[in-house]
Structures are given as C-alpha cells and as structure tokens.
Structure 1
Amino acid sequence: MADQWQEAYDFAVQVARAAGAVIRKAGEEEIKVQTKSCTVDLVTKTDERVEKIIIGSLKEQFGEGTHCFIGEESVAKGQPCILTDKPTWIIDPVDGTTNFVHGFPFVAVSIAFAVNKELEFGVVYSCMEDKMYKARKGQGAFCDDEPIQVSDVKDIHKSIIICEHGTDRSPETVQKIFSTQKKILCIPVHGLRGSGTAATNMCLVACGAVEAFFEIGIHCWDIAAGAVIVREAGGLLLDVDGGPFDVMSRRMVSGNNRVIVNRIIKEIEIFDTVRDDAPIVKK
C-alpha cells in the first residue's frame, strides 16, 4: 500500500529549509519589529512573510482547500485555532522571534502535520545552526538524516533541564516560574538551560543533550513538531499535572523517561492559561 503522507513529509523538509534561508537572509538586514500581546511578545515582518511562503507553498503543492492550516501569525490575526480530523498543518514560521531580533543564534522553523487529530510528523529546522530535525510517527527521529535518541540518564541529580520564562510578566506568574526553577535547581540538578525556542528545546531533549524541557504558556505551533520528534527519539510527553499530553493545552513536560519527568512534575507550580482552541471572546 502506498504511503500517502511520505510526499507531505518530504515536502515539509524542503519548505522548512527554504523558509530558514529566508530567515537567515532577513537577519542580515534591518529587522522591523511590532508587538503582539505585550511588549515582550514580538513579531517581525519576517514572521509574517515566512508564514505566507510556507502556507502558499503547501497550498500550491497539495491543492487549495484540501488541507487545513494553523499558523502562529494567522491565529494572531483572528483565524481560529481548531484541530479537526482533516489533514492539518501546524506552523511556527519563526520560533524564537525575540532571539531573531537580538541576533541570538537559536531560531527555528517548526512544521507539524496532523490527521484525525493525531500528529503524523514534525520538522524543526534550526536555521542559524543549519540543523534539520525530523520525525514521522513510527519511523524514528533524525538530525541531518542521522538517527537520534534521548539520553539514558535516570538520576535527576545528573540531569540538565530546560525551562523558559515565557511572555507573561505579571508578578504572580513570574513568581511561580522562578519558584519552580529554584526548586528544580535545588534538587539539585546539573543545571538549567533555555535556548529561547520551544521547538529547539524539544529537539535538544530528543538528541540527548538535555533530559527534560517544561513550559506553561507555550502554543501548539511551538511544540507540535517537537512532540513527534521527542516521541520518536524514545522520549515522553505529559501535561505538567502528570496527565496526558494535549497539544492545545499550552502546558507540557517532555523528557527522556518517566523517572525524570515525574520528578520534574513534583516541583512545577502551575498557573492558569487559556487553551489554544478556546472559543474566541469578541470584545
């Protein structure tokens, strides 16, 4: 039987690489910045242009109206963020926009594909590093075509954990974020890290460079592709409360094994977020 999604997978890799080239070129030119939800939630013309390039290429390749799209910039402009049973692309054109603006060298193109609400494959192109991470369900995970797998560390004291600060700067949220990080650091662990891009963070889990990554406040486009890559590298994804992973929940722990993940979950101070697929409230 023919593999109906192989063409889509291969094309996603091609599109991600092309989008990354656009980002690298834009990084050499003047960067015009706008803000979205707050002064630390940035968007550039590059984000918008790259998303248009990706979605336009996919529509041209597979036909207008045959697939659905969830894109970060499209959702920011009011399009619904609903995952249905239809073939759906989940796209973050520039994951790590703040890094991009500052010239901090971790920026990724993240493209995931879901059918029947199940993630089929994910592609993350760390374009400043020129590293291509990719995975298909049931077929393993790769970086630049070399197989990758999570680390075999089970002792939390020998682990490196990735965490981020997000964009919510309310004192209550910041207090919980730093309290969680303090508790994890004092377990103790070898260290805490953060690349500034959730997609890259998940790939670092997948290739065994770190043992776990957790965040509350991320979006489906930040983590959908990385979720496939982590799973196919032998890793685990859960909700921050220990329940099942939900790509729309805006909260997640990814790790190399359940021992490490469960230990991290014990220390996480949870705060409220609005689901990606929550109904849009008209003002």
Structure 2
Amino acid sequence: MASSSNITQVLETGSKKMSVGDYDEIYKFSCDLVKRVGAEIVAASRVREKLYETKSSAIDFVTETDGRVEKLLMDAIAKRYPDHVLIGEESAVEGKHQELTDAPTWIVDPIDGTMNFVHSFPCSAISLALWANKTAEVGLVYNPTENKLYSARRGGGAFLNGDPIHVSGTKELSQALVMFEVGTSRDPAKLRCVASNFAALHPRIHGFRSLGSAALDMCMVAQGGADAYYEYGLHSWDMAAGVLIVREAGGYVCDTTGADFDLLSRRVLCAANSELASQMSPMLAHVDLPRD
C-alpha cells in the first residue's frame, strides 16, 4: 500500500480525531485479523455436512461457522478498538443492527457466500470494512480457501495479495462481461426484476457470470476479470468492503438507477467506469426494498 507518511490530514470521527496514520494501522490490523480467522473457514469447509439453520427461507441460512467467525472478528476488534461501533450480519439477524453514523464503524460479514460454503464450493469470503463519517476507509475481502486477500485503503489503491489491481478499460456494454446474482429471496417482485434484467442485458453483452458472493463479484470487477456487477436485495455487510475495493481499483460505484451509491439502499451497480454504468442503468428494471 502507498505510504501516507507525508499526509497530515486529520479526520474527525465523533468525539475522537483519527489521523491517516491511524487508518493505516487499522488496515494492517485488519489484514492480519482476517488471515488468522480465515483458518476457521478453511478447516470447516473441508466437511461437506455442516450444521446450519434457516433464516428467511429454506435457502437462506446461517451455519455455526458464521457465528463463530463473526464472534472471533468482533471480539478482536472490540478489544483493540473499544470505542468503535460494530455491525455484523449474524448480530443483525438477532436484532442488534445499528444505524450507520459518523462514528468509526466496523461492518462485518463472516462468510459472504454461505450457500457456497455449505456445499464446499470455494467461493466464499470474509468481508470486513471500517467506515467513518459515513465513508469507507478500509475494506478487505478474504477468500481463505483460495488464500486470496483483496484489500483497499481510501486513497491508497486496491490490492490482491499485496499486488496492485485495476479495473478493465471496457467502456462498451457490447464488450462487457457482467456479474449478477439471483440472491436468496423468493419474493415474486424481486424475481421478476431479476428475470427482466437478465432478458434486457443478455443480448447486449458478452455474457453473464455469477460467483455466489456479492463481495467476490465486486472484487472480480476490481481486478478486471469482469467489467460490471449489479444486484438487488443486498445488505450493508455485503457491500461495505467491496465498494471501496472497486473504487480504489479505479472503478465506478453507484445506485442501480445511476444515482449516488447508498450503503443502506440494498442495491448496487459497480462498473469499470462511469461510461459503462451509464449504459447499463437505464436498461435495468428496479425493485424497491426495505432499507437496512
């Protein structure tokens, strides 16, 4: 990551001032943390029969590993930064979700791609982000089964295992490989939206791809393996790290309507550049979902 020793900017976060150096230290701490905790996922992924409970539907579930990994992450963060706010996916399911404020806030998804994890399909990841003043400062997406760590620090670029990554130069929709997900919701309006968008875009692009993980889909755009990604029905923990990684890789992130991105809106459009996003957004049908 680029050095920030010559930067004297100081950022106000709640009652505490945090320097760029503070965020650099948080970045290093986060990288070490996800690698250490990721070993839990690697060990559990080798077992095909995993214990899980359903959430909103028969295909929306949480494993015991989700809970264990989230606790390891959040306990370590709380010990190191006791005055920071914590938002975690599994905690939110238990009614502990907190509104995003200007305070330094960690947003945690212990296993993004739980369906993949349950089936031992090697595309699941820890998504960990620190936001302050409602701005992403640090973002990490770690796929431990493939030992791939995507990381970004605001203003410092995006990386895969320490090597810089960049979005593709694709500006024409006809040349684009597009990521998308159906998601776990079986709400009829949501499914109609998914089907409509597939039908509208498919004849006009090179093709569709889907990894089963929003965080990894975004990282694929960041590294130039795909040119765009869109999805509806996400939550803040699905996107909080990925959006920073895409932006720091030179990409463009907005709402699916083309408006400014809103972390709590439950939808996102990522693209290699604004030109590509502006071609896609008018073609997309939209569905309004309850905000996070």
Normalized against structure 2, the TM-score is what?
0.91
Q: Deviations over 1:185-210 (max 9, x none)?
A: 111x1110110000001100000000
Shift of 1:81: 3.1
For 1:237 and 1:15, locate their aligned partners in 2 and report how far apart those are by CA, in whole Å: 27
For 2:97 and 2:113, locate their aligned partners in 1 and report how far apart those are by CA, in whole Å: 22
Pair 1:112 & 2:121 matched: no
1:120 counterpart SS class: strand
Shift of 1:168: 1.6
* Alignment partner of 2:78 out of 59, 65, 69: 59
Shift of 1:35: 0.8
Q: Find the counterpart in structure 2 of residue 238 from structure 1.
A: 254
Q: Find the counterpart in structure 1 of residue 214 from structure 2.
A: 198
Shift of 1:171: 2.9
Shift of 1:272: 1.7
For 2:223 and 2:74, locate their aligned partners in 1 and report how far apart those are by CA, in whole Å: 28
Shift of 1:71: 0.2
Pair 1:7 & 2:25 matched: yes
Letter in 2 for 1:249: S
Pair 1:76 & 2:104 matched: no
For 2:127 and 2:189, locate their aligned partners in 1 and report how far apart those are by CA, in whole Å: 30
Pair 1:218 & 2:234 matched: yes
For 2:152 and 2:98, locate their aligned partners in 1 and report how far apart those are by CA, in whole Å: 23
Letter in 2 for 1:53: L
Q: Find the counterpart in structure 1 of residue 69 from structure 2.
A: 50
Shift of 1:172: 3.0
For 2:143 and 2:198, locate their aligned partners in 1 and report how far apart those are by CA, in whole Å: 26
Normalized against structure 1, the TM-score is what?
0.94
Size of the aligned set, in residue pairs, is: 273
* Alignment partner of 1:19 out of 29, 37, 51: 37
For 2:278 and 2:69, locate their aligned partners in 1 and report how far apart those are by CA, in whole Å: 37
Shift of 1:19: 2.0
Shift of 1:154: 1.1
- Identical amino acids, percent of aligned pairs: 41
Q: How does 1:62-211 map to 2 (within 5 A)?
A: 62=81, 64=82, 66-187=83-204, 189-211=205-227
For 1:151 and 1:144, locate their aligned partners in 2 and report how far apart those are by CA, in whole Å: 19
Shift of 1:90: 0.4
* Alignment partner of 1:39 out of 58, 65, 68: 58
Letter in 1 for 2:165: I
Q: Deviations over 1:214-262 (max 9, x none)?
A: 0010111001100110000000111111110011110110110111111
Q: Find the counterpart in structure 2 of residue 280 from structure 1.
A: none
For the Cα contact (< 8 Å) 2:168–2:226, is it kept in 1? yes
Shift of 1:80: 2.5
For 1:83 and 1:258, locate their aligned partners in 2 and report how far apart those are by CA, in whole Å: 26
1:215 counterpart SS class: strand
1:90 counterpart SS class: strand
For the Cα contact (< 8 Å) 2:24–2:153, is it kept in 1? no
For the Cα contact (< 8 Å) 2:101–2:133, is it kept in 1? yes
